[in-house]
Each structure stands twice: as C-alpha cells, then as structure tokens.
Amino acid sequence: MAYFLIRDGEAIIPKGTTEIPEYTFDDCDELTTVVIPEGVETIGEGAFFGCESLTEITIPKSVTSIGKAAFHDCYALTEITIPERITEIPEDAFAHCEELTTVVISEGVETIGDAAFCNCESLTEITIPKSVTSIGEYAFDDCYSLTKITIPEGVTSIGDGAFDSCPLETIYVPAGKVEYFKGLLPEDLHDKIVEME
C-alpha cells in the first residue's frame, strides 16, 4: 500500500504508485499542487474532492480512469488536460471548479458524464474531440461564462440540460450537420448553431 504525504502544499505521490484510492486527499485545504507520476493508472472516486486551494494538477498519459467527483469542489483549479487513454470523464468529475478556465480533452475520450463540468463558472470555451459520442445530462450546466463550444460529428447523444444557464453565442458543428444537431439540442439553442469553416 502506498503512503501519501503533503509537503509545503504539494502532494507527494511515490514512484511505483498505480492507483490513488478514493477520497485519498478529500478536503485537504492546504494542498495547492499535485504532480501525478507516470505509472499511475487510476484516480479514485473523490480522490481530490474539496481540495479548495488546489491550483495545479498534472495527470500523466498513463492514467486510464478517473472516478466520479474526483476533483469536485476544487474551486481554485485553473486548467486541466485529460490524457488520451481516458475514455470517460465521469459524473461530477470537475463539478464546481469555479476558477477553471482551460480544459483540454484529448482524442480518446468517448463520454462526458452527467454534470462533469457543471458550475465551472470561468470556463469560456471548449472543444470536444472527435472521439466523443455522448455528452451527459447537465454536463456543462451553470457554466456562466461559456460562450463557445465545438461539437464533433460523432456525438449521437446530448443529455437534458447539458448547457443549461450557459450564455452560448456560438455552437460550432461540422459542415452539413446543422439540422442533425438541431435534433439533439433544445430549441432555444438552434439559432446558435454554426457550421465550422
């Protein structure tokens, strides 16, 4: 069993660790920085839940699974890159990350779960990669700054309320797919759908 420490605000995760178990660092208010070493494959449910001072985290390419609510209530987190071996961003994974401004979702992700990014109030735009087929209910609900989103052709399901309370100005979709996405998105967003150039 690996032992985890926090030193000067940084999580110390030993080399050779393959899993960060569920709720390992939950409510660690002093935690500001996390560098997850290569070799870690799983970040458990709620692993960093409520780490309100966490501003920076690096997820290595070795990670294949992130648990539900893994980074829920990480209010100070400003950017995140989801590596390519992860196929699902699960329910509530980054919910209430209020300072999150940059999200990079790598090709390989297929599912964005329910409320995965809800209440990410500082997120202004996001590009969903071509590998994604499903966007869950309330996935981006209450993202009060989200004005632009790019949705790829392969998306076949968009859950209820996925973009509720988002001030969307432009929803970019592939050429020839405007009518298709009108069938997936609520009527109040139909005039925001624009073909990509």
Q: What is the pLDDT of residues 118-160, one digit of tens each?
A: 999 999 999 999 999 999 999 999 999 999 999 999 999 999 9
How large a percentage of the chain has pLDDT more than 90? 92
Q: What is the mean pLDDT of residues 160-185?
A: 97
Kindly tell me the sign of the dihedral angle through the C-alpha atoms of 96, 29, 63, 101: positive
Structure confidence at residue 197 as a pLDDT band (50, 70, 90): confident
How large a percentage of the chain has pLDDT more than 70? 98
Question: Whole-angstrom Cα distance, residue 102 to residue 96?
Answer: 14
The DSSP letter of residue 189 is: G
CATH topology of domain 21-197: 3.80.10
Structure confidence at residue 175 as a pLDDT band (50, 70, 90): very high
- 80 pairs with which residues across the strands? 103
How far, CA to CA in Å, does 12 sit from each of 9, 43, 52, 65, 142?
9, 15, 18, 20, 34
Residues 6+ apart with CB under 8 A from 107: 84, 129, 130, 131
The predicted pLDDT at position 166 comes to 97
Q: Supply the pTM of this predicted model.
A: 0.94
Helix, strand, coil distribution of the chain in percent, nearest 5: 5, 25, 70
Residue boundaries of the structural domains of the chain: 21-197
The predicted pLDDT at position 2 comes to 61
What integer best gives the mean pLDDT of the chain? 95
Kindly tell me the sign of the dihedral angle through the C-alpha atoms of 136, 138, 139, 145: positive
